[in-house]
């Protein structure tokens, strides 16, 4: 597992299986599912800043909308 600080209040966890989980502030809001080969992002609406953080992480890559519970369960 690798923890990377991508910017102010933006953190990425990269797992050994290729999966990623992106955090804005302390909330997991996006990621990459290596087994499916798809990027995912929360369908919940957050602040303008968190939305910008997600956009920066995805960098133009199309992502599948997932319910916020999907990301919360990764760490629950």
Residue 65: predicted pLDDT: 98
Q: With left for phi above 0 and alpha for psi between -120 and 50, is residue 36 left, alpha or beta?
A: alpha
State the Cα–Cα distance between residues 57 and 7, nearest whole angstrom: 10
Q: Domains in the chain: how many in total?
A: 1
* Segments forming the whole domain that contains residue 35: 2-73
Read off the pLDDT of residues 30-67 as tens digits, 9 standing for 90 and up. Answer: 999 999 999 999 999 999 999 999 999 999 999 999 99
**Predicted structure pTM score:** 0.94
Gyration radius (Cα) of the chain, Å: 11
Tokens of 18: 């290729």
Alpha carbon separation from 46 to 24, 41, 68 (Å, rounded): 10, 12, 11
């Amino acid at each position: 597992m690798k923890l990377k600080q991508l910017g102010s209040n933006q953190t990425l966890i990269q797992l050994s299986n290729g999966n990623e989980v992106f955090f804005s502030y302390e909330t997991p809001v996006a990621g990459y599912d290596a087994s499916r080969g798809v990027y995912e992002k929360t369908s919940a609406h957050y602040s303008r800043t968190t939305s910008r953080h997600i956009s920066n992480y995805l960098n133009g890559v199309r992502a599948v909308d997932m319910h916020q519970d999907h990301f919360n369960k990764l760490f629950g």
